[in-house]
Amino acid sequence: MYKDLDPLLHSQLRLAIISMLVTSEKVEFTHIKEETKAAAGNISIQIKKLQDAGYIKVEKTFKNNYPNTMVSITSKGIEAFETYVKTLKKYINPPK
């Protein structure tokens, strides 16, 4: 009946990360950590999964001699998020 929800985006933390990226061009790792209150290790794992799927891009640089990780969403990630939201809306408001 419905297309299944993308299991990659159905994770609470991965969905939170993608949601932040949909509204911002780039997000710092530290901002994701502050917003989600998740452990750095867990965020790193989830970012890696999203990156491996091609949903996000990760850029590692240095800022004031400290490592700085910037994350941005790809067009594939935007498309996956939009499909996820459309599918979720069908579950919430099923056609009659």
CATH of the domain at 62: 1.10.10.10
- CB distance 49 to 14 below 8 Å: yes
Beta bridge partners of 58: 71
Check pLDDT > 60 for residue 1. no
Confidence band, pLDDT 50/70/90 cuts, at residue 3: low
pTM here is: 0.89
> What percent of the chain stands above pLDDT 70?
97
Which H/E stretch holds residue 71?
Answer: strand 66-73
Q: What is the mean pLDDT of residues 66-86?
A: 94
Domain around 17: 12-84
36 in any annotated domain: yes
| pLDDT exceeds cutoff 80 at 8 | yes
Structural domain includes residue 7: no
Mean pLDDT, residues 78-83 taken together: 95
Q: Which long-range contacts (CB under 8 A, 24 or more apart) does 33-40 make?
A: 38/13
In a domain, 1, yes or no: no
- Which residue has tokens 């299944």? 4
Residue 89 placed within a domain: no
Q: How many domains are contained in the chain? A: 1
**Position 38 in a domain:** yes
For the four alpha carbons of 16, 20, 26 and 27, in that order, the dihedral sign comes to negative
Query: Measured between alpha carbons, how far is 88 from 80 in angstroms, rounded to an integer?
Result: 12
